[in-house]
Structure 1
């Protein structure tokens, strides 16, 4: 979530059931947001416990062949729950539209399916942040459900979270053989769609005292040196394994959680005219900054917008001149385009331990060493993965874990449980991508609050005060199988197996 937040305080392990406001106290955004997160966690957990890893009312998200669609199929309306998250399709849509059918609302241009291929069709559900700049730009300014209050004459207020669902198709030819040889296309697919080792990161600003040394002997520069509290965001730009060579995983970072965005009015070559300038100096755009100009496809993480450096800014016309022309269209007012600033373009302070600029204008992701962002803040990727020589659980032990889990749940493992079992399988056999190697996923992110009062960042620590590695804070994605299909040589589609699970309302089963 790329909102302008102070921090995200929700942690399911605490077991909190509500937030209690007290009289005479300051009201913080983190408290209000935590209450909503608590409510969502309770509702989603209850739904997952009652329904299982996935299921829906009869016909919901059913995949249907349509003779009038070339290399396509229909998706029936309804609600389908994935790990307790409700995907809601409000009308019959086509996989990619066509024949008077609308395309998927959050996946309008999926990859084409090919003749002569068999596919696994599955549902992916996740949550994205939506600001007024994105939502209201595509709507009538007189709409009563606009996010921005026009009476305020410009400033926005609260943002929204939106549940996104996308029906995707994956060729069965791309699957690796199942580790145990079982004929379960979904279990095999899930291990590859949602790898268990998505990377870890730890962050620090203040150095803990050296072991055995004086407890107060700390370098004066080993602390957060910023002049305001921030919520730093580190986000994976290009997925894959870490590599010191070109083509490996890359990342970007923002000191404002990626929330510095501007609606775009027009693009003419490298010149980008903004709908308005900024009202706060900390949200300014300056030559040397690195920005992205993103449309709906990038917002839905179908692809990454190109990162471009700012060459000039004209405040009179609110026009930003970039080093190249952005590859996005602004002609359709229903498809809002935003310019987003990242903060790795303008270096501040010494360059020692700075990450290197990659070929995509992001930063090279290297593991196992501290990388300096700014103001004393450092991050390290990948310190939580297994290394050669680590003890791995034997096959017999892993099979016992699998057997116990299946007996307990009736072979209805939720997505996260399947991810962990798949991860253990890959580790046990050494993993075809490298033993213990972490595969970073595009769009995953970590949030790092910095606080002047501590001269440090907030985050998990061990007993000695050293930072601990942690998995990404998001994006949390959930998956469910829908169908196995086959595409004939003439482009027609046959549904060979329905993989959904259906249930009826309690009022019907009680009759």
Structure 2
């Protein structure tokens, strides 16, 4: 804070809670200001303890990001950032903010860049916050006309906030974008500086020796401030004996001449030739990089009658409509330049009146500052600051630029924003909201779902549903009556509109499946009716769905305010609310899983889940590729070929004997295993395998018949049987014959 202060004294480690005046004592600005620092520290600490580092009150939450007509908008309301209240009185536009001047890109340009990223980029939106000192030069309303226009009184501390946006790298263009933005909020360590006065010398000789200690005649608050950031070797600084508080407003400028509104009340608090001044306007303070430094110029001469400062060099123009100002700095000598003073590579750098400073290695930012109270009565400077631990090197008093993630925007060509307006962007809200204290309740005791017998958002066949039913496990034993009215199962079927199996329809028709609901300890079970006609009807219905390449969606719902358990004079209801998560199935596809146990910290909430139902998987047929095989053998009785007669009167044709297995519907994920066997003379023929897997999505599979030897001039009968391993009691069989031949006898 570059105000006209005697000192800035506040140390949170001392745990002071108030400043108390005593009668007949001198009132100092430092004491009153310390009370303000104490109040701010207590207030911010309490807010962070209650809300956290970031948060907005529900109902009055501000800075919700939206996009409309190529504009990036934010809503009115409040948001807290590290204990600092940011309040937008009205809805705002990214391109029209008083504290964001000359941004590199407009909102439309940023959004166009995002679209050009083709899904491999993101746009991160932040709320940027800091505090600044405001005097009558920034706000003329602080002047009291009764005291005269030149009379300043108090200053103000103001919260500055603005919405900023920047392109994100590829890793942020996903669901972790918001959490990645929070991980970015690391504050680099502040660099350190030491101060001292000239030590006393014990050298003998005739040469004059500088006095030790502070030799100034005035009480001063020296300010040492980094002008150009960087490392120890290339950063620069400037300094002021008045804490940088000597400022005038720029009225006009031309060439090297700068006309100001005031030359100061006296020579100590005014301007003089050969002094260095910094010229800047609000675009320097509120540019894309906040709190930037202006340009330094050396004053050549002063024309008092016109209040004109003439510089040695031409002055680059500033915008007088944007509160242009001139600030005096007090560095001098040959080392002073328009870039400031070098840091000195770790050695001691003399300021004036016996004061020296030294900088440590580190990364310095523009605006990093240290204040050094110097007192004529003691001939000393107060360094290290009282209560600082006694370390000679002290960290900079850095203006903290706080940042809070607001939103992460990604390209989404089919996205539709919540306002119903189709836009090619998806907006993830990164804000954190909190309810009023009066809306907070302790977690209500309740029943919770701890497990289910099916996999959410997965596939189940009708025979599996009929065989096992649906089981829901709870963390307590329910005592309420149960029925299909409170444990409902609804099947949503795809409508076959145009009888075109290759085309899906987006219309589903729901109907409710009643089942028998029973309690068993901490479990609830729903069992579908075993009526053969009803199961056959459902199976035919599901088979029709399969022809449409679709599955019926089955929704399961347990009513939280109808399922309860009586416990010790109170009633516990079902808190069945769940949250989703992504899970990967065995075939690598993603599906929506549920986080269990359930619980949304309310007295009662419904439990909801869904899965997809397919027809009963059955083995329709087992068919050999011929029902009558004949063998062709060599004179030494070796089987040369297996033949079959396709049409009467047509010579037999060679064939590779095999059996084809046909399922009622396509095999599910993972395939369907069929167990096969062959009854007959095993020395003549066998099967190539005892089981075969029908691939997922297919309805057929084959298994070869291996003919081992010629049975002679006779016909043998064989029966092949097959059954699904999941349904071994429903085998399907087929019979075929093999006719051998008498080998020719060769007489040599």
TM-score, structure 2 as length reference? 0.51
State the secondary structure of the residue aligned to 2:433.
Answer: coil
Matches for 1:430-449 after TM superposition, within 5 Å: 438-449=362-373
Q: 2:129 and 2:409 mapped to 1: Cα distance?
A: 21
Rg (Cα) greater in structure: 2
**Contact 2:134/2:155 (8 A) holds in 1:** yes
**Contact 1:461/1:468 (8 A) holds in 2:** no
Q: 1:223 and 1:316 mapped to 2: Cα distance?
A: 40
Instruction: Note if 1:374 corresponds to 2:371.
Output: no
Shift of 1:174: 9.9
**Contact 1:289/1:341 (8 A) holds in 2:** yes
Q: Which residue of 1 aligns with 2:184?
A: 189
Q: Which residue of 2 aligns with 1:89?
A: 88
Matches for 1:231-380 after TM superposition, within 5 Å: 231-243=221-233, 248-300=234-286, 301=290, 303-322=292-311, 323-330=313-320, 332=321, 335-344=322-331, 346-347=332-333, 356-357=335-336, 360-380=338-358
Q: Which residue of 2 aligns with 1:26?
A: 26
**Contact 2:374/2:382 (8 A) holds in 1:** yes
Q: 2:10 and 2:200 mapped to 1: Cα distance?
A: 26
Matches for 1:84-233 after TM superposition, within 5 Å: 84-96=83-95, 103-112=96-105, 113=110, 114-115=113-114, 116=117, 117-136=121-140, 146-153=141-148, 154-173=150-169, 184-191=179-186, 194-195=187-188, 197-205=189-197, 207=199, 221-233=211-223
Shift of 1:46: 0.3
C-alpha distance 367-49 of structure 1, shift in aligned 2 (>3 A): farther
Q: Deviations over 1:67-94 (max 9, x none)?
A: 312xx41111211111111111111111
**Contact 2:221/2:372 (8 A) holds in 1:** yes
Shift of 1:340: 0.7
Q: 1:268 and 1:242 mapped to 2: Cα distance?
A: 36
Instruction: Note if 1:486 corresponds to 2:481.
Output: no
Q: Deviations over 1:341-365 (max 9, x none)?
A: 1111x34xxx8xxxx345x431122
The higher-RCO structure (CA 8 Å, 6+ apart) is 1
Q: 2:69 and 2:163 mapped to 1: Cα distance?
A: 20
Q: 1:224 and 1:174 mapped to 2: Cα distance?
A: 56
State the secondary structure of the residue aligned to 1:41.
Answer: helix
Shift of 1:320: 0.8
Matches for 1:7-26 after TM superposition, within 5 Å: 7-26=7-26
State the secondary structure of the residue aligned to 1:45.
Answer: helix
Q: 1:11 and 1:508 mapped to 2: Cα distance?
A: 37
Q: 2:83 and 2:31 mapped to 1: Cα distance?
A: 24
Q: Deviations over 1:349-402 (max 9, x none)?
A: xx8xxxx345x43112244211111111111111xxxxxxxxxxxxxxxxxxxx
**Contact 1:308/1:361 (8 A) holds in 2:** no
Aligned residue pairs total: 407
C-alpha distance 305-152 of structure 1, shift in aligned 2 (>3 A): same
Q: Which residue of 1 aligns with 2:66?
A: 65
Q: Which residue of 2 aligns with 1:404?
A: none
Q: Which residue of 2 aligns with 1:390?
A: none
Q: Which residue of 1 aligns with 2:663?
A: none
Identify the structure with the greater helix proportion. 1
Q: 1:504 and 1:207 mapped to 2: Cα distance?
A: 60
**Contact 2:125/2:163 (8 A) holds in 1:** yes
**Contact 1:63/1:73 (8 A) holds in 2:** no
Shift of 1:107: 1.6
Q: Which residue of 2 aligns with 1:474?
A: 398
Q: Deviations over 1:445-480 (max 9, x none)?
A: 1111111122221122799x9861111123133222
Q: Please, which runs of 5 or more residues in structure 2 have no aligned partner?
A: 203-208, 414-422, 443-748
Q: Which residue of 2 aligns with 1:412?
A: none
**Contact 1:206/1:455 (8 A) holds in 2:** no
State the secondary structure of the residue aligned to 1:132.
Answer: coil
Q: Which residue of 2 aligns with 1:505?
A: 436
Q: Which residue of 1 aligns with 2:46?
A: 46
C-alpha distance 267-500 of structure 1, shift in aligned 2 (>3 A): same
Q: 2:424 and 2:256 mapped to 1: Cα distance?
A: 43
Q: 1:17 and 1:121 mapped to 2: Cα distance?
A: 37
**Contact 1:202/1:380 (8 A) holds in 2:** yes
**438-447 or 360-369: which moved more?**
360-369
State the secondary structure of the residue aligned to 2:137.
Answer: helix
TM-score, structure 1 as length reference? 0.73
Q: 1:297 and 1:206 mapped to 2: Cα distance?
A: 40
Q: Which residue of 2 aligns with 1:395?
A: none
Aligned CA RMSD, in angstroms, stands at: 3.0
Q: 1:474 and 1:251 mapped to 2: Cα distance?
A: 14
Q: Deviations over 1:213-265 (max 9, x none)?
A: xxxxxx7623111110110111111222221xxxx222111110000001121
Identify the structure with the greater strand proportion. 2
